[in-house]
Homo-oligomer: A and B are copies of this chain.
Amino acid sequence: MTASSTPGTAALQNDSFLRACLRQATDHTPVWLMRQAGRYLPEYCATRARAGSFMGLATHPDLATEVTLQPLERYPLDAAILFSDILTVPDAMGLGLSFAAGEGPRFAHPVRDEAAVAALAVPDLNRLRYVFDAVRSIRQALAGRVPLIGFSGSPWTLACYMVEGAGSDDYRLVKSMMYARPDLMHRILQINADAVAGYLNAQIEAGAQAVMVFDSWGGVLADGAFQTFSLAYTARVLAQLQRSHEGRVVPRIVFTKGGGLWLDDMAGLDCEVLGLDWTVNLGRARALLGHCKALQGNIDPNVLFAPPERIEAEVAQVLDRFGRPHQGEGTGPTHIFNLGHGISQYTPPDHVAALVQAVHQHSRRIRLP
């Protein structure tokens, strides 16, 4: 990847998301939704049907571009996020990712013994070219409307799937390896961290204007194990990321689902934004982190099943808990509105419209002097 592969850099028309990431003032609280290009949108389902499968969508840059832009056509969202999966990196390592209908991801070749761990290596990034092509294509299609976020799973979260071979409700296999053979687990995590760093840097080179590390399963770890097996390797990723591209800082977001107990540990991460799930009190998180991190989150996605007037009330509560964000020059506490987890496939699309509108309206209201 070289800088010459950067797409046409149209001036950014809405930079509220990037400004909030950098703890700079904005006239409203920017909002985007995890998994905003997803099955709750009929147009997404139509494109996916044409693609034949989830990976068919993800591996065709034109289709990935189409679905990435779909939610932006419906809602005045303040950021786009690359349509892809958190597990593309282990797939490129040769583990054989697939998505059975109605089920989660599955690896054909899980990593469960010393030989399988020894065989692991940082993958050739050419095997992930479809992702970087999608980033370039999406940037072109966005034409500066809003910034584009790239992402990856965290080293620990990738390891969960790599060892379990699929989702899990007890993480027995991956934790058995961690407790019985910490040496093997550390080797997997080092490789994952270096692979994720290279992967995110290539997304940045291709045009991603911010990057997010999804530590979806960090929260299943015990206190102590989280710091050793998840946080330390997220830090190893962050240390390798390039800080700017196209003359702009590229903000780095870290989201550990279920990580609310470890916010003081995460305060030390070299990143600009921390994502929070709905169990965290935003006011307390601001008191703890507002001096050093922008905060992203954190409404329960199930709020979207309530009628619009209840959604508005819950949105106002989340915004009010954070309180008035930084105003004026310089930097200070800022908030990026999001769900505390991916949007449910059963969400009524018009309820999303109500949420986005409520965020924009109420967040302007709380900025009034």
With the chains together, A306 CA to B225 CA distance in Å? 14
Q: How many residues of A contact B (CB 8 A)?
A: 36
Q: Say whether A223 contacts B175, CB under 8 Å.
A: no
With the chains together, A265 CA to B307 CA distance in Å? 30
A303 CB to closest chain B CB (Å) equals 5
A224 within 8 A of B: yes
**With A180-B310, A279-B258 as given contacts, are A175 and B222 in contact (CB-CB < 8 Å)?**
no
A306: B residues at CB distance < 8 A: 176, 179-180
A172 within 8 A of B: yes
Q: Say whether A278 contacts B310, CB under 8 Å.
A: no
With the chains together, A317 CA to B228 CA distance in Å? 14
Q: Say whether B280 contacts A340, CB under 8 Å.
A: no
Max chain B C-beta neighbours (<10 A), residue from A169, A171, A303, A344: A303
Interface hits, A312-327 → B, CB 8 Å: 314, 317
**With A307-B180, A310-B179, A310-B180 as given contacts, are A302 and B346 in contact (CB-CB < 8 Å)?**
no
Question: What does the 1/0 interface line of A152-187 toward B look like (CB < 8 Å)?
Answer: 000000000000000001111001100110000000
Q: Say whether A176 contacts B302, CB under 8 Å.
A: yes
A310: B residues at CB distance < 8 A: 179-180
14 contacts between A and B (CB under 8 A): A169-B169, A170-B344, A175-B302, A175-B305, A179-B300, A179-B302, A179-B303, A179-B305, A222-B279, A222-B300, A223-B280, A226-B279, A261-B261, A261-B279
